[in-house]
């Protein structure tokens, strides 16, 4: 690894330094390497750095196990991304306190800079999940990278739909990449890493806590050209993310919901406060038209009024895998394991194909990862 990047990692690992103090130190001394080689008395002269922190920085080899962190990075096949790297989002660099360093699992591309953040309730309803999947699928198909936080509920649905569309997705964690949270989403994180990237600013083995999630949210908002909230209660991390997006000068979009459902109260409030009401992903694409190379070629939100029958699937342009799964399903719900066994398809193929069938309105996704043909 480049010595300058190693020095930045060491500075990043010193407790209480953080992005703001880290930048102040680098600006004062010229580089992270120079900061780490400075004496405590000189470090203490930097604004915002007290004598106690200055001593900790000057004696960093006693408290920071840089070799161990580098070993973990190598063992897990991670990379590091610093501000100034061409792959570091220029939009992220504009926010208040952008991360000094990001750990990357997967592969970032320059096209990932054109992104839409999608967030919402961890306890999403069937309505919220359905809306999220349709929005994410179309937006990813249009070439937007879907950014979310890998949480349960809406986040998971947004990532899965983007992958099912063959698009790009970025997951930003509130934990280290060696401690994926929630743990049941580890298989999804692995899939995202093959079709995008999983990011974190935290040391590899840092566990998630109540302090890490709000800071994670600023990266979701900062990386994205706009933020879509599909379902959220009044008191939620999604509204914190929306506020961070507004502070960063991003467009905020919200899907309206029933007025008697608390899981939609946050979205309805955002709309009252000026967020753009969204009922079709094409409205977001139109809003972001200057940033899209060919928005006119993007389909609008799929319509689902017609019932799914064997006769009308011919008009749905189903792939071979989708046809196999559609024929395997009936009105009686089947669990995902049963579907995999009956179809003979791999779990990854089943997941993505079932998502596409759901988006096309041909099957129902039920609690407990069960599916049935829509009648």
Q: 206-213: long-range contacts at Cβ-Cβ below 8 A with a sequence spacing of 24 or more?
A: 206/175, 206/176, 206/179, 207/175, 207/176, 207/179, 207/181, 208/173, 208/174, 208/175, 208/179, 208/181, 212/174, 212/175, 213/149, 213/174, 213/237
Tell me, what's the pLDDT at 305? 36
Q: What is the pLDDT of residues 208-255, one digit of tens each?
A: 998 999 999 999 999 999 999 999 999 899 999 999 999 999 999 999
Torsion of CA 141, 144, 148, 153, to 10 degrees: -20
Residues 35, 22: Cα–Cα separation, whole Å: 9
Tell me, what's the pLDDT at 61? 95
Tell me, what's the pLDDT at 315? 43
Burial 9-39 (b: 16+ CB within 10 A, else e): bbbbbbeebbbebbebbbebbeebbebbebe
* 230 CB neighbour count, 10 Å cutoff: 31
Tell me, what's the pLDDT at 177? 98
User: Are the CB atoms for 254 and 135 separated by under 8 Å?
Assistant: no
Residues 228, 140: Cα–Cα separation, whole Å: 13
Tell me, what's the pLDDT at 351? 83
Q: What is the pLDDT of residues 166-204, one digit of tens each?
A: 999 999 999 999 999 999 999 999 999 999 999 999 999
Tell me, what's the pLDDT at 292? 64
Residues 151, 75: Cα–Cα separation, whole Å: 25
Tell me, what's the pLDDT at 190? 97
Structural domains of the chain, ranges and CATH numbers in brackets: 3-86+96-102 (1.10.150.20), 104-297 (3.40.50.450), 312-373 (1.10.10.10)
Tell me, what's the pLDDT at 293? 53
Is the pTM of the predicted complex or chain greater than 0.85?
Answer: no
What is the CB-side half-sphere exposure of residue 366 using CA atoms within 13 A?
14
Quote the mean pLDDT of the chain. 90
Tell me, what's the pLDDT at 62? 93
Over the chain (375 residues), the average pLDDT of each successive run of 10 is 94 94 96 96 94 96 96 97 95 95 97 97 94 94 95 96 94 97 96 97 95 94 97 93 94 95 95 95 88 46 40 60 90 91 87 84 84 86
């Amino acid at each position: 690894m480049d010595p300058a990047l190693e020095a930045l990692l060491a500075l990043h690992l010193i407790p209480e330094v953080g992005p703001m103090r880290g930048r102040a130190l680098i600006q004062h001394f010229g580089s992270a390497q120079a900061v780490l080689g400075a004496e405590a008395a000189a470090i203490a002269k930097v604004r915002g750095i007290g004598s106690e922190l200055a001593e900790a920085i000057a004696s960093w080899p006693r408290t920071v196990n840089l070799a161990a962190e580098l070993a973990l990075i190598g063992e897990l096949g991670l990379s590091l991304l610093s501000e100034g790297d061409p792959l570091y989002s220029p939009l992220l660099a504009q926010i208040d306190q952008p991360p000094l360093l990001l750990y990357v699992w997967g592969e970032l591309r320059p096209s990932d800079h054109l992104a839409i953040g999608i967030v919402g309730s961890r306890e999403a309803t069937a309505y919220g999940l359905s809306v999220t999947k349709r929005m994410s699928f179309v937006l990813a198909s249009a070439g937007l990278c879907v950014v979310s936080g890998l949480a349960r509920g809406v986040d998971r649905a947004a990532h899965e739909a983007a992958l099912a569309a063959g698009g790009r997705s970025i997951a930003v964690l509130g934990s280290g990449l060696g401690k994926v949270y929630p743990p049941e989403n580890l298989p999804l994180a692995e899939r995202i890493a093959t079709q995008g990237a999983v990011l974190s600013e935290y040391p590899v083995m840092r566990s998630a806590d109540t302090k890490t999630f709000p800071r994670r949210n600023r990266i979701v908002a900062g990386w994205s050209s706009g933020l879509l909230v599909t379902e959220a209660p009044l008191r939620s991390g999604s509204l914190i993310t929306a506020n961070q997006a507004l502070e960063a000068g991003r467009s905020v979009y919200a899907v309206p919901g029933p007025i008697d459902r608390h899981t939609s109260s946050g979205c309805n409030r955002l709309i009252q406060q000026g967020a753009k009401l969204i009922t079709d992903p094409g409205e977001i694409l139109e809003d972001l038209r200057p940033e899209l190379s060919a928005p006119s070629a993007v389909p609008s939100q799929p319509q689902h009024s017609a019932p799914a029958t064997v006769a009308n699937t011919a008009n749905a342009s189903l792939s071979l895998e989708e046809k196999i799964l559609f024929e395997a399903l009936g009105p009686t719900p089947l669990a995902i394991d049963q579907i995999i066994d009956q179809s003979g398809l791999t779990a990854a193929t089943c997941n993505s194909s079932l998502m596409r069938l759901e988006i096309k309105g041909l099957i129902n996704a039920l609690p407990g990862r069960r599916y049935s043909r829509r009648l």
